[in-house]
Structure 1
């Protein structure tokens, strides 16, 4: 068993120290996920705090310690989707976008717009696969569905994303990646 697996088991048994080590290890992943959904640094930081609290209260419910990261990211995605539903609007953090070059800025805006236009499931599958580098089997386990279903969702999401980017006449190309 790896170090994370051992820490997860200790955290499930009530070790606050093990839990804190896990959160420190994954806090950047949590923050990046929250920022990609909420588009606001303050809201992303608040999301990390809220999700950390929720995970702390529910860590005893995790079924497989080896899927801790997947479960953690899933809790964050669910929290962010709830926040977006409540707000019914999308906020882009323009200051962050402007820190990058003009070409990078253009590509980021196109990709963000296209991702926000996708349905929730497509956005989630793409985030887990390409932003968190999770394997299809891990995504399937987390979403409690067959790997073939995840592959179908992923292919449909990529096709939709390509179509959205082509509509915008963007020069951003989305390529399939084996997983």
Structure 2
């Protein structure tokens, strides 16, 4: 029994080292606050240890973790004490050293959650539309529409910045 627990702990640590940064970024995209994102990431790994699901491969494992953290973030945003509109205080500039890249990241983070999550998964996590559809449990056409609208909003913001 002792050996089994040790092996499970090592597996979780390996999974944590592989996916913690990705999950944290996804939580930041949804929640906008470092503390909430850290808690969501922690809760996702707790759920992994509790459920101990069997995965077909690494992609299945990653998709499961993203689904869990996305659901957790949605439930945090639904809580009555939390405002619908999330202030993005403390968005770390350590994501990138390039001020132009940082400005673009901040624009993406300012999008409404339903566009922000799709844009983030597509452009920053390199997921295909079909994969995003499965992760977020929405249709592929909804993913395409959200990407299109997210791009339109970003374009309007960028054009507005140029005119200032």
Which consecutive unaligned segments of at least 5 residues does structure 2 have? Answer: none
**Structure-2 residue corresponding to 1:38:** 31
Alignment of 1:90 with 2:86, yes or no, is yes
Shift of 1:127: 3.1
Shift of 1:133: 1.6
Alignment of 1:160 with 2:160, yes or no, is no
Task: Summarize deviations over 1:122-162 as a string: whole Å, max 9, x none.
Answer: 444333332222234444554567xxx42x22321122112
Alignment of 1:133 with 2:110, yes or no, is no
- Cα distance, 1:106–1:20 mapped onto 2, change above 3 Å: closer
> What's the secondary structure of 1:93's corresponding residue?
coil
Q: How far apart, in 2, do the equivalents of 1:155 and 1:138 lie?
A: 12
Q: How far apart, in 2, do the equivalents of 1:47 and 1:83 lie?
A: 9
Which of 34, 43, 51 is equivalent to 2:44?
51
**Structure-1 residue corresponding to 2:108:** 111
Q: How far apart, in 1, do the equivalents of 2:67 and 2:106 lie?
A: 24
Q: How far apart, in 1, do the equivalents of 2:137 and 2:151 lie?
A: 27
Kept after mapping to 1: 8 A contact 2:34/2:90: no
> What's the secondary structure of 1:167's corresponding residue?
helix
**Structure-2 residue corresponding to 1:20:** 13
**Matched pairs, number:** 152
Shift of 1:171: 6.3
Shift of 1:29: 1.0
> What's the secondary structure of 2:45's corresponding residue?
helix
Greater RCO, CA 8 A, separation 6+: 2
Task: Summarize deviations over 1:90-114 as a string: whole Å, max 9, x none.
Answer: 021246259966544543332222x
Scaled by the length of structure 1, the TM-score of the pair is 0.66
Shift of 1:37: 1.8
> What's the secondary structure of 1:18's corresponding residue?
helix
Kept after mapping to 2: 8 A contact 1:128/1:134: yes
